[in-house]
Every structure is written in C-alpha cells, then in structure tokens.
C-alpha cells in the first residue's frame, strides 16, 4: 500500500496523464464530498479544482507524514476555508462548539431532565426514518446548512467513515474540538428528528 502510494506520487510529480487519471478516480469523490459540506454545491467543483492545483504544485514537498488521501483532503479543507473567509462566511470555532441551548435548557439545575424529556420515536432504524420522504428532505437540508466545521466533521466521520485522528489532521482542529463538533452536529440531527416526530414538520433552524 505504502509503496503503491509512493509510486503514484512519483508519477504525479512527473505529470503522467495516467497517474492524474488514477488519482482523480481514487480521490475526487471524497474531495468533492468534503468540499460540498463546506461550501455547498455551487462552489464545490471550483474548490476541488483549486485544491488539485495546489496539491500537484506542492507534491514534491509532500513528506508522507499522512496518507496522500488525508493530505489531499486537508488541502480541500484549506481551500474551502480560504474561500469562506474571503466571502466573510467563516463561522468562528467558538460559535460552532457552543452548547446547543435548546437541548441544554431541557436539563434542570441538578443535572436531571426537566419537564421536556425526550419523546419516544416510532422508528427503530435509520432506514425506517429515511423512508419518510419529508424527513429525508428535512435531514438533507439540515446537514447542508450545518455550520461548516460541524458539517465537515459529520461528513468525514459518519458519511465517509474517517477516524477521529484523520479528521483532526484534515480539519486542523484538536481531537477534543472534533469530538465537540460531532456532538453538536449529532444533537442537531437528534433535535430535528424529534421535532419532526412530534409535529410532522421540519425544524426551522
């Protein structure tokens, strides 16, 4: 695996078409997927293209401290952040890791649940939840609108299955921040599904 990757890297540095093709086939979908969670559909292609340009230029200096895949995703994340920063759309880490008040308010001062305890859902599996079209649409919309690092963390962890360690490396945040971001994102999903279960309507935040 390591040798194969080194071989691909050397061929990419030599700018072989076949190597470009192979790398794009291997990594493009993961890169697009991550970019999408940062900047949405409209700019994902552009961000990924920029990331490839930066990556190919920087490749001779790549030191293999991480896998090529992780390194490429880190470049995508950086391009996406730069883009958001330029448009003044970058949310602060503090805001993204802040406690979700609509959940924390449901606990009373001694740390127990108050009056608003979790309602029982009428579903036992994710598949069953997603079989309801309106909820599926609602979830797509919610995930699309998550603050960028929450969305990216959820995407990398749940949808793409990366380890916490890889995610720290890709997003350049500490492990404790990754854990908090994941926690916040999952709780948002939880609250939105609960709202849907109670009212039959999508949450509005």
Partner 1 sequence: MITCKDVSDTASDYLDGPTTLLQRFSLRLHLIMCVKCRRYMRQLKLASGLAKKITVPFEPSDEEIEFLVQKLRALT
Chain residues that interact with partner 1, rule: CB under 8 A: 15, 17, 20-21, 24-25, 28-30, 32-33, 36, 49, 52-53, 56-57, 103-104, 107, 110-113, 117-118, 120-121, 123-127, 129-130, 136, 139-140, 143, 154, 157-159, 161, 164, 179, 182-183, 185-187, 189-190, 193-194
Q: Phi then psi for 202, rounded to 5 degrees?
A: -75, 145
Q: Decide: residue 197, CB within 10 A, 0-12 exposed, 13-18 middle, 19+ buried.
A: middle
Element housing 193 (H / E): helix 175-199
Q: Element (H or E) spanning 56, and its range?
A: helix 17-58
Q: Give min distance, CB of 83 to partner 1, in A.
A: 18
- Minimum distance, C-beta of residue 77 to partner 1, in the bound complex (Å): 16
Minimum distance between the CB of residue 6 and partner 1, rounded to whole angstroms? Answer: 19
Handedness of CA 170, 172, 173, 175 (dihedral sign): positive
CB nearer to partner 1: pick between 57 and 61: 57
How many Å apart are CA 23 and CA 5, to the nearest integer?
10
Chain-centroid distance of CA 166 in Å reads 12
Task: Considering the complex, state which of residue 85 and residue 198 has its C-beta at the smaller distance from partner 1.
Answer: 198
Residue 22 vs 78, nearer CB to partner 1: 22
**Identity of the residue, 3 or 17, whose beta carbon is nearer to partner 1 in the bound complex:** 17
């Amino acid at each position: 695996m390591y040798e194969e990757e080194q071989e691909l890297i050397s061929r990419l540095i030599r700018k072989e078409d076949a190597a470009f093709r192979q790398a794009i086939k291997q990594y493009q979908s993961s890169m697009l997927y991550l970019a999408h969670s940062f900047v949405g559909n409209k700019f994902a292609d552009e961000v990924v293209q920029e990331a490839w340009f930066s990556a190919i230029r920087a490749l001779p200096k790549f030191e293999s401290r991480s896998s090529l895949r992780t390194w490429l995703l880190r470049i995508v994340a950086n391009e996406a952040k730069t883009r958001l920063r330029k448009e003044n759309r970058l949310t602060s880490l503090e805001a993204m890791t802040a406690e979700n008040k609509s959940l924390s308010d449901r606990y009373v001062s001694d740390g127990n649940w108050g009056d608003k305890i979790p309602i029982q859902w009428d579903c036992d599996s994710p598949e069953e939840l997603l079989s309801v079209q309106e909820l599926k649409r609602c979830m797509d919309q919610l995930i699309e609108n998550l603050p960028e690092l929450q969305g990216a963390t959820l995407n990398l962890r749940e949808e793409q299955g990366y380890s916490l360690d890889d995610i720290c490396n890709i997003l350049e945040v500490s492990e404790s921040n990754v854990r908090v971001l994941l926690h916040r994102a999952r709780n948002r999903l939880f609250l939105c599904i609960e709202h849907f279960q109670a009212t039959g309507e999508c949450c509005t935040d």
